[in-house]
Amino acid sequence: MAQINNGVIGHRGASAYAPENTIAAFNKALVMGCSFIEFDVMLSADGEAFVFHDDSLKRTTNGKGEIGLVDAEYLCSLDAGRWFSKEYQGEKIPLFRDVLKWLTFADISANIEIKPYRNTAKQTAVTVMSHLNRYWPQSKPLPLVSSFDKEALYLCRDLVPEMPLGLLLDSWDGHWSTTASELQCYSLHLNKRELTSERVQAIKAEGYKLFAYTVNSKRQARKLLEWGVDAVFSDYPDLLP
């Protein structure tokens, strides 16, 4: 695993400065000196892997419908930048393989979140692992693969035993330790609202890296890092010096 400079992971790239989950946002993060970005992977109806977050296309594109119900050709035709500002009009939803190729040449590391469209956990996990096998540069440390979907994470562990895995939790789970141990997780990724100093200490005591999302306040970021959180996901890669 690569090091995370200054305790900040660019959430969907530099998503406060450019349209989230686009090459533009990743380039912006790179220019800002970010060492680590996070992005999401979902599948189209015909099984192509795209870097995208929502089920619905409405919020971040000029498209209609849901990503898992339309084909790759339609998704490639959409504008994923105009919603953010005129400056980014024409920006596309990136193909996952194209982002992996971009990472080959960019001095930046990645947390890849598997975000399955409904009933596609297995297919999405297999697709992500096969893409990494084909396109991830041998010269770089393996990326961190995370998900809220435990089925997807268990399959990733079976397919690529050496892959660093992160367990995502939106609410506190009293059984987190058992799940993280079974998955041989590298890290836990928790909603900032669920963290207390005691919970941070409990997670760190078991040897896991701990990342908190989504933190856009310098004051809150510093408090979490003081508690022992290893890094925060932020829309502002320049949140902390």
Closest CA to 17 of 6, 4, 5, 29: 29
Tell me, rounded to whole angstroms, the distance of Cα 74 from its chain centroid. 24
Long-range contacts of 148-154 (CB under 8 A, 24+ apart): 148/115, 149/114, 149/115, 149/116, 149/121, 150/179, 150/183, 151/121, 151/122, 151/125, 152/114, 152/116, 152/121, 152/122, 152/124, 152/125, 153/114, 153/125, 153/183, 154/182, 154/183
* Catalytic pick among 53, 131, 175, 189: 53
**Is 131 annotated as catalytic?**
no
d(CA 55, CA 125): 17
Tell me, rounded to whole angstroms, the distance of Cα 16 from its chain centroid. 15
* Catalytic pick among 11, 131, 175, 189: 11
Instruction: With H, G, I as helix, E, B as strand and everything else as coil, classify residue 234.
Output: strand
Tokens of 175: 């059984």
**Is 189 annotated as catalytic?**
no
Catalytic residues: 11, 53
